[in-house]
Structure 1
Amino acid sequence: MALHVFGTKNALPARLSAGNRFSRLAPLMLITGGAMRRFGTETDEAPPLSGTLGRLGSLEVRLARGPREVWRAQRLRYRVFYQEMSAKPDVVARVFRRDADRFDAACDHLLVIDHAARGRFGGVKPKVVGTYRLMRQSAAERLGGFYTQGEFDLAPLLARHPGQRFLELGRSCVLKPYRTKRTVELLWSGIWAYLQHHRIDAMFGCASFDGTDPDALALPLSFLHHHAHSQGEWSARAHAEHYVGMDRLPLEMVDAKLALKQMPPLIKGYLRLGARFGTGAVIDRQFGTTDVLVVLPVSAIDKRYADYYGGETPRRAA
């Protein structure tokens, strides 16, 4: 299953993806040889990250504090994914108007809160206007794997990096009136603080193209295959039963300028950050998308963005 921050499937720095609606960075599988491979333990984890992680005007980014705030994030996800986008809810989701699954309880939920939002009767009522679900590998180990392990075979990749810490980014969305540069910058300020606090080494996930016809996406898929293919120690591929070839056009037929023009803002943003993409795409019919695997070691993030999100900026001003 693939999800869209502004209108594709994962939040990006606003300078990279303003105009996109929502997004998903999908996760990894830690199963090797039929058993769970443990790369870390609870004893070497950092304590919970608390407090404000960034602020711009009335907008604050921080982690959810308790079940009620997680519930508010789930309601926002339902509103964006199922009411605004084309995702198809099951009976439970439709009845409770929440996008929820068994992984939510094991994840941290990053929130953007507008403290100046108005309630139905005109009074000030803080509102959750953006969210991102963060799943560390220790949580995935307890559950038997990461959320999207069914799409991509990542066990060989993880086995090549023992001792490194991986993070799944997913279930990201922003309420339509807040799809601006500063909202996404707040999300990524929060993600960057989270990466540093928990000493994350690499992120994985899915980015998505709208539509389920790979031939209609031949040019951008072929561009990623020929020019941004993950190789060597960071290579990974779609499971055989879901595999859709991305090399739909030969290299000499790929017009790079036109391909980038057709690329979702999310994917162009990941390219700028330094990400590479796995072998093979996956069709997600529930969400009406074609998913590609993003592989992004923290060390590969362009220094400009690392400095920007890690430095002292107005995003941390009250």
Structure 2
Amino acid sequence: MLGKTSEAGQSLGKIGPLEVRLANSVKELRLAQRLRYEVFYEEMSAVADAQTQLTRLDRDRYDELCDHLLVLDHNSQVRNKPFSKLKPQIVGTYRVLRQEIADQHGGFYTSGEFDIQSLLDRHSDLNFMELGRSCVLEPYRTKKTIELLWHGIWSYVLMHNVDVMFGCASIEGTDPDELAEQLSFLHHFASAPEEWQVSALADQYVDMNRLPKDKVDYRAALRSLPPLLKGYLRLGAFFGNGAVIDHQFGTTDVLIIMPVSKLNPSYVSHYGEDASRYSS
């Protein structure tokens, strides 16, 4: 898949020196994997196996199947190897997997935690796309960078006629009782309606309904959510039933479901129905 789509390397948007586009080579994929390693393993709580420690890359079998959105900073030129040419630094990444590709290669990554097949079967006339492995370098965790990533995703959705986006989103920590307010907030205030509902697999299921609705401090819970989850909520995302503990990454995963037809209209108009807002 990598670099074989017609839009590989094509700019999907710019804000000042920042640009979003798809990776167009194995070298760029490796740089995205290195960025993910820095964020997930060095900054956050992921536990690296020997191979991951040796390569300093976060990678799995799905990477070769996915397209990878990159945010580049043209004001920060770096050498990725000694004596190599200066190139814009990759400061953010997001990977996407289209249903037609997943169907040819054993399904989606998310199906290892959630009963995705039931959702696909219920909406067999729709075109699904999985989002995953989102990360941004700490100095770039700003509104501009997030907006640019979402502009890239929206452009990609339009290019490939995607009807539904979904994927795992993570809250740092593996003790659901310590995350009771966040999980209960998502359960009570953002749960997917029945037609879009999906449950965590039975052997991994963690109940998100940990506090009664009237005991959840709405504002405090919303503030405490990771920026990515707050972004999903603003876009109009639904959340699945049950969470999953990911001990390797030191996180608690929840499922987001975003039918394109249900996206917040103000965000669609913000980016442009033709993804023209930040087009270059």
Alignment TM-score, normalising by the size of structure 2: 0.90
Aligned residue in 1 for 2:165: 203
CA contact (8 A) 2:47 2:250 kept: no
Root-mean-square deviation (CA, aligned residues, Å) is: 1.9
Q: What does 1:155-194 align with in structure 2 at a 5 Å threshold?
A: 155-194=117-156
Aligned residue in 2 for 1:137: 99
In the aligned structure 1, how far is the partner of 2:141 from the partner of 2:231? 16
* Residues 1:261 and 2:223 are matched in the alignment: yes
Aligned residue in 2 for 1:19: none
In the aligned structure 2, how far is the partner of 1:250 from the partner of 1:95? 46
Aligned residue in 2 for 1:299: 261
Q: Compared with structure 1, are the counterparts of its residues 64 and 287 closer, same or farther at alpha carbon in structure 2 (3 Å cutoff)?
A: same
Q: Secondary structure at the match of 1:105?
A: coil
1:124 Cα deviation (Å)? 4.7
Aligned residue in 1 for 2:185: 223
In the aligned structure 1, how far is the partner of 2:72 from the partner of 2:160? 23
Q: Secondary structure at the match of 2:33?
A: helix
Question: Structure 2: which 5+ runs fail to align?
Answer: none
Q: Compared with structure 1, are the counterparts of its residues 197 and 231 closer, same or farther at alpha carbon in structure 2 (3 Å cutoff)?
A: same
Of 123-132 and 161-170, more deviation after overlay is shown by 123-132
CA contact (8 A) 1:228 1:277 kept: yes
Q: Compared with structure 1, are the counterparts of its residues 132 and 139 closer, same or farther at alpha carbon in structure 2 (3 Å cutoff)?
A: same
In the aligned structure 1, how far is the partner of 2:87 from the partner of 2:95? 23
CA contact (8 A) 2:167 2:256 kept: yes
Q: Compared with structure 1, are the counterparts of its residues 183 and 149 closer, same or farther at alpha carbon in structure 2 (3 Å cutoff)?
A: same
In the aligned structure 1, how far is the partner of 2:198 from the partner of 2:57? 32
1:290 Cα deviation (Å)? 1.2
Aligned residue in 1 for 2:240: 278
1:116 Cα deviation (Å)? 2.6
Tell me which of 27, 41, 48 is aligned to 1:89: 48
Question: Structure 1: which 5+ runs fail to align?
Answer: 1-46
* Residues 1:106 and 2:106 are matched in the alignment: no
Q: Compared with structure 1, are the counterparts of its residues 193 and 68 closer, same or farther at alpha carbon in structure 2 (3 Å cutoff)?
A: same
Q: Which has the higher contact order (CA 8 A, sep 6+)?
A: 1
- The amino acid of 1:316's aligned partner reads S
1:230 Cα deviation (Å)? 1.0
CA contact (8 A) 1:218 1:246 kept: yes
CA contact (8 A) 1:273 1:302 kept: yes
Tell me which of 116, 121, 125 is aligned to 1:154: 116
CA contact (8 A) 1:63 1:111 kept: yes
- The amino acid of 2:173's aligned partner reads G
Tell me which of 14, 21, 43 is aligned to 1:55: 14
- The amino acid of 1:111's aligned partner reads L
1:158 Cα deviation (Å)? 1.1
> Percentage identity across aligned positions?
56
- The amino acid of 2:28's aligned partner reads E
CA contact (8 A) 2:67 2:97 kept: yes
In the aligned structure 2, how far is the partner of 1:162 from the partner of 1:305? 26
- The amino acid of 2:87's aligned partner reads K
- The amino acid of 1:78's aligned partner reads Y
Tell me which of 199, 203, 207 is aligned to 1:241: 203
In the aligned structure 1, how far is the partner of 2:133 from the partner of 2:225? 21
1:308 Cα deviation (Å)? 1.2
Deviation track 1:241-293 (CA, whole Å, cap 9, x = no partner) reads 00111111222322323322332222222222111111111111111111111
Q: Secondary structure at the match of 2:134?
A: strand
Give the 4+ runs in structure 1 shifted more than 4 A.
Answer: 120-124
Aligned length: 270
